[in-house]
Amino acid sequence: MSMSHVRSARLGSLTLARSSISARLASGCGSPGPGLAKHADPYRAIDRQADPAQFVDILESRGRAPSQVRLRRRFLRFAGLRPGWEVLEVGSGTGVLCRDLARMVGARGHVIGVDPSRVFVAAARRLAREDGLGRRIDFRVGDGARLRLPADRFDCALAVTVLLHVHDPAAIVAELVRVTRPGGVVGLQDQDLGTLVLDHPDRALTRRIVDGVARRNYVEPLSGRTLMRRLVEQGLTRVRLRTDVYQDTSYEPFTRGLIERRARHAVEFGIVAARAAARWVAEVERSVAEGRFFLTLNFYGAVGVKPAPRGGSSP
Ligand SMILES: C[S@@+](CC[C@H](N)C(=O)[O-])C[C@H]1O[C@@H](n2cnc3c(N)ncnc32)[C@H](O)[C@@H]1O
Residue among 87, 115, 158, 299 to mutate when testing ligand 1 (max atoms within 8 A of CB): 115
Query: Could you tell me which residue, 233 or 11, shows the higher pLDDT?
Result: 233
pLDDT tens, position by position, 132-164: 999 999 999 999 999 999 999 999 999 999 999
Quick check: CB of 187 below 6 Å from ligand 1?
no
Report which of 121, 239, 224 is spatially closest to residue 177, judged by C-alpha positions: 239
pLDDT reading at 309 higher than 60: yes
92 CA distance to ligand 1 middle (Å): 6
Between 252 and 155, whose confidence is greater? Answer: 155
| 43-55 mean pLDDT | 93
> Can you give the CATH number for the domain in which 162 is found?
3.40.50.150
Within-domain flag for 313:
no
Within a domain: residue 315?
Answer: no
Average pLDDT on 284-290 reads 98
Tell me how far the alpha carbon of residue 284 lies from the centroid of ligand 1, in angstroms: 29
Q: Are residues 92 and 115 in contact, defined by beta-carbon separation less than 8 angstroms?
A: yes
Half-sphere exposure of 220 (CA within 13 A, CB side): 18
Render pLDDT for 204-222 as a digit per residue (tens, 0 to 9): 999 999 999 999 999 889 9
Q: Is residue 312 included in any domain, yes or no?
A: no
Indicate if the pLDDT at residue 312 is higher than 80. Answer: no
Among 43, 44, 87, which is best to mutate for testing ligand 1, by the most ligand atoms less than 8 A from CB?
Answer: 43
Per-residue pLDDT tens for 225-250? 999 999 999 999 999 999 999 999 99
- Residue 104 inside a domain? The answer is yes
Q: Is the confidence at residue 81, as pLDDT, over 50?
A: yes
**Residue 42, ligand 1, Cβ within 6 A:** no
Burial class (CB in 10 A: 0-12, 13-18, 19+), 29: middle
Render the burial of 180-194: b for 16+ CB within 10 Å, e for the rest: bbebbbbbbbbbbbe
Task: Decide whether any atom of ligand 1 lies within 6 Å of the 145 Cβ.
Answer: yes
Mean pLDDT of the chain: 88
203 φ, ψ (degrees, to nearest 5): -70, -35
- Look at residue 37 in the predicted model and tell me its pLDDT: 38
Cβ neighbors of 12 (< 8 A, separation 6 or more) are: none
- Centre of ligand 1 to C-alpha 115, Å, is 6
12 pLDDT exceeds 70? no
**Residue 254 — pLDDT band, cuts 50, 70, 90?**
confident
pLDDT at 313: 53
Phi-psi region of 106 (alpha: psi -120 to 50; beta: other; left: phi over 0): left
pLDDT reported for residue 40: 76
How far is CA 152 from its chain centroid? 26
Report the 10 Å Cβ neighbour count for 103: 14
- Distance (angstroms) between ligand 1 centre and the Cα of 190 equals 11
Distance between Cα 152 and ligand 1 center (Å): 22
Q: Is residue 285 situated within a structural domain? A: yes
Indicate whether 314 belongs to any domain. no
- 217 vs 27 pLDDT, higher one: 217
The count of domains in the chain is 1
Output the pLDDT for position 66.
87
Q: What whole-number distance in Å separates Cα of residue 39 and Cα of residue 49? A: 9
Torsional class of 30: left (φ above 0), alpha (ψ -120 to 50), beta (otherwise): left
Contact 174, 200 (CB under 8 A): no
Has residue 307 been placed in a domain?
Answer: no
46 CB near ligand 1 (under 6 Å)? yes
Q: Is residue 37 a part of any domain in this protein?
A: yes
Residue nearest to atom 10 of ligand 1 (CA): 162
- Model confidence over 182-191: pLDDT tens digits? 999 999 999 9
Q: Which domain holds residue 104?
A: 7-302
Model's pTM, two decimal places? 0.87
State CA 82 to chain mean position distance: 24
Is it the case that residue 17 has pLDDT exceeding 50?
no
